[in-house]
Structure 1
Amino acid sequence: MLASELFDVSSEVVLVTGGGSGIGLAMAQTLASNGARVVLADVALERAEASAAAIRSEGGAALAIGLDVRSEEMIGSAFDRAEAELGAVGVLINNAGIAHRDKAAALSPKAWRSVMEVNVDGAFAVAQEAARRMIRDRRAGSIINISSILADRPIRQVAAYSASKAALSQLTRSLALEWAKHEIRVNEIRPGWFETGLTDPFLKGPGAKIMAAQTPMGRLGIGLDLAGAVLLLASDASRYMTGSTITVDGGHSIGK
C-alpha cells in the first residue's frame, strides 16, 4: 500500500479540544493540510475562530466551536454541531489541558481540583461522548489523548499536572481495553518540552535553555514535530494499535 493511502485522513472529521492554539492547533493544521475536516473546540472561542479562518485561507476545512470540557452540555452541543456542519467525528484529539505551578506543600485543594477537572475529568467526558456516538452508529474511530513525559518523569512544583497526566495515561489503556471490540482505538502522545502558552510559565527566563540543554537533541519541540505521530494515530496506518504511547520529546525522557 502506498504511504499516501496508508496515512490518508481525507475522509475524517477530527475534533481537537484546545485546538485554537499551541500544539492542538499545530496538529489540526497538519490534519487539515492533509484533507481532514477539523473542529477547533476551545474555551477561547475568538482565538479558535481566528485559527479556523487561517486554516480555511490555506484551503482547509475548519470549524471553530466554543468548548469548556468541564461542561457536559457544551460537550454534547459541540459534537452535535460538528456532525451537523462537517459530519460525524471519527477522530478525537483530547488536547485541552491546564497546568499549575506551586510547591506541593502549598498547593491548594482548589488548584489541585481545577487541574484534575480539565486534564482528567474533561478528557474522560469528551472521550466518552465521542465513543458513545461511535458505538451508537457502529463506526470505528480513533481517540488520541495528549499526555506528557511528566506522566512518569515528574519534576518539582507540578505535582497536580504530573498526577493528572499519569491518570490520563492509565485512562488511555483502560478505554483502549474496553472499546477495542467496537473498533475504537485509544492511544496517547507524550510530548516533551514544547514552547506553548501552557509551558510559558515554566520556560521563562533561563528555563528554555535549561530544558533544551537537558534534551539529547539539543532543542525544544515545535508543532511540526508532532505531525508524524498524529498522522499515524489518526489514520489507518495505526489500525492495529490501541493502548499505545508515542513519546515525542527529542530524547528528554532518556536523558540525564
Structure 2
Amino acid sequence: MSDARELAGKTVLVTGASSGLGRHFALMLARKGARVAAAARRTSLLEDLAREADALGCTIVPVAMDVASVDAIKAGVAEVEAALGPIHILVNNAGIAVQAKALSTTEAEFDRVFSTNVRGAFFVAQVCGQRMIERGIAGRVVNIASVAGLVPMPQLGVYGMSKAAVVQMTRALAIEWARHGISVNAICPGYVATDLNAAFFGSEAGQKITAALPKRRIAQPHDLDGTLLLLASPEAGAVINGAIISVDDGYMHS
C-alpha cells in the first residue's frame, strides 16, 4: 500500500488480538490510521493494548469475544459497530494450535482446535460479511491461515487440517461475496516468532527447526505487515480476491 492514510476512517476488527500476531496486527493497523476493534477472550490484555495505542495517538477499542460462541460473535460485532461504526475490514486471526502426533491427539484437543480455527473463523466471517452486504460496504476479509494448511508440518496434523479448511473457506467466500464487492483472501505464515513460542525457538529443538529453514531464520510479526496492508487496502484489495498467499520464506518449497 503506497499511502498509509488509505486506512484512515476505516473500521477494522481483529480477532485473537490479546497476544501474538493478532496483537501485533491490531497495533500496526491502528498506527496506519484505522479505527481498530481488538477482540479476544482475555479482555485485561486488550485493555493494556488499548492503553498502549492511546499513548501513541491511535484508536483501539477492546471487545470481549469468544469465537467458539456464535452469540458472542454477534454481540461483539454489534459492540464494535456501536463504538466505531460499520466494519470495513476483518482480520480473521483467532486460532489455537495443538502440537501432537495423530495417534496421541485427544478428542478434546481435536474439538478445541476445530471449534476455534474452523467454526469460529467461519461464523466471524459470516456475521461480518452479512453486515457488509447489508450496508453496501465493499469490505475486505483477511483470513490468517498457515502454511501448515498447504503442506504437512511436524506434529501439526490437526492444526494443519483446520487451516486447510480456512484456505478452502477463503476460496468459497471469495466467489460468493465477489458480486458484493467484498474481497476475501488468506495469508499463510510459516514459522513466526511470538511471545508464545519464544522459549521453544530458543531451545535446542527450536534451533534445529530454524537451522533447517531455507533462510535459517524465524520470521518476525512485522514481516507479515506488507501482505496484510496490501489485502486490506481499498485499491489493491479490490482486485485481489480468493488469493492464498504463503509468507513463509520458501518453507513450503523446501
Length-normalised TM-score, structure 2 = 0.94
1:13-44 C-alpha deviation (Å, 9 max, x unpaired):
11000012111111122211110011110111
User: Is the partner of 1:145 in helix, strand or coil?
Assistant: strand
1:102 to 100, 103, 113: 100
Aligned to 2:194: 196
What are the residue-to-residue correspondences of 1:136-155 with 2, within 5 Å?
136-155=134-153
Q: Does 1:243 align with 2:247?
A: no
Aligned to 1:42: 40
Name whichever of 188-197 and 125-134 sits farther off: 188-197
Q: Does 1:228 align with 2:233?
A: no
Identity rate of aligned residues, in percent? 38
User: Is the partner of 1:196 in helix, strand or coil?
Assistant: coil
1:150-201 C-alpha deviation (Å, 9 max, x unpaired):
1121123222101000011000000101010111110000111012255458
Cα distance in 2 for residues equivalent to 1:129 and 1:218: 40
Indicate if the aligned counterparts of 1:195 and 1:222 stay in contact, CA closer than 8 A.
yes
1:250–1:156 distance in 2 versus 1, CA, 3 Å: closer
1:116–1:200 distance in 2 versus 1, CA, 3 Å: farther
Any stretches of 5+ residues in structure 2 without a counterpart? Answer: none
1:204–1:218 distance in 2 versus 1, CA, 3 Å: closer
1:198–1:121 distance in 2 versus 1, CA, 3 Å: farther
Cα distance in 1 for residues equivalent to 2:250 and 2:206: 16
CA drift of 1:53 comes to 1.3
Cα distance in 2 for residues equivalent to 1:72 and 1:197: 28
CA drift of 1:129 comes to 0.2
User: Is the partner of 1:231 in helix, strand or coil?
Assistant: helix
Q: Does 1:65 align with 2:73?
A: no
Indicate if the aligned counterparts of 2:140 and 2:231 stay in contact, CA closer than 8 A.
yes
Give, as a single letter, the amino acid of the residue that structure 2 aligns with 1:85.
Answer: A
Cα distance in 1 for residues equivalent to 2:91 and 2:218: 22
Aligned length: 253
What is the RMSD of the two structures over their aligned residues, measured on CA atoms?
Answer: 1.7
Aligned to 1:219: 217
Cα distance in 1 for residues equivalent to 2:112 and 2:99: 12
Name whichever of 146-155 and 200-209 sits farther off: 200-209
CA drift of 1:12 comes to 1.0
Cα distance in 2 for residues equivalent to 1:249 and 1:115: 22
What are the residue-to-residue correspondences of 1:9-88 with 2, within 5 Å?
9-88=7-86
Q: Does 1:89 align with 2:87?
A: yes
Aligned to 2:252: 253
Any stretches of 5+ residues in structure 1 without a counterpart? Answer: none
Aligned to 1:160: 158
Cα distance in 2 for residues equivalent to 1:69 and 1:175: 18
Indicate if the aligned counterparts of 1:22 and 1:196 stay in contact, CA closer than 8 A.
yes
Q: Does 1:169 align with 2:144?
A: no
User: Is the partner of 1:239 in helix, strand or coil?
Assistant: helix
